[in-house]
Amino acid sequence: MTQQQTPASTTIDPELLSAARQAFANAYAPYSAFQVGAALRGISGRIYSGANVENASYGLGRCAEQSAIQAMASAGERGFTALVVYTEASPPASPCGACRQILFEFSPEASVVCVNAQGESVTGSVADFLPHGFRLEHG
């Protein structure tokens, strides 16, 4: 397992961190009170961000990472190089299993940095977070 928990010295793309923090501030999480912000850098260099958006019908809530992927794919991009997930959890929260598969669909080799306000981080590639991720191979 190459996923790592590292001290404050981890290098993070400052623009992605800032976008993830902004998305965190926009999270709609009245039911769980657990805000999550995510920001991806698309292969074009453009940044796409997303927050978790909950619903009174709990099962309809959407994770931050999925919101960011929806923004990226809806803009026509089909891959990303890096993802930052920002929470106030310690250790920092990392993507749920469903989000790992959704990230894996586009960019298994992209870097993931999960970080919190104290600068603690959990890092790895998407494939590190989701070993043996599913791909639909025909034939």
Q: Where on the chain is the footprint of ligand THU (CB under 6 A)?
A: 29, 32, 34, 36, 52, 54, 61, 63-65, 93, 95-96, 99
Q: Helix, strand, or coil here: 43?
A: coil
Minimum CB–partner distance for residue 31 and ligand THU (Å): 7
Does the annotation count 120 as an active-site position? Answer: no
Which CB sits closer to ligand THU, 44 or 91? 91
Q: How far is the CB of 79 from ligand THU (least distance, A)?
A: 20
Residue with tokens 């453009």, as numbered in its chain? 46
Q: How far apart are CA 16 and CA 121, in angstroms?
A: 14
Q: 14 vs 97, which CB is nearer to ligand THU?
A: 97
Q: Are 126 and 106 in contact (CB under 8 A)?
A: no
Q: How far is the CB of 4 from ligand THU (least distance, A)?
A: 18
Q: Of 65, 88, 105, 137, which one is the catalytic site residue?
A: 65
The candidate with the shortest Cα–Cα distance to 15, out of 35, 36, 45, is 45
- Cα–Cα distances (Å) from 116 to 18, 36, 113, 133, in that order, read 12, 10, 10, 26
Cβ proximity to ligand THU: between 36 and 115 the closer is 36
User: What are the residue numbers of the active site?
Assistant: 65
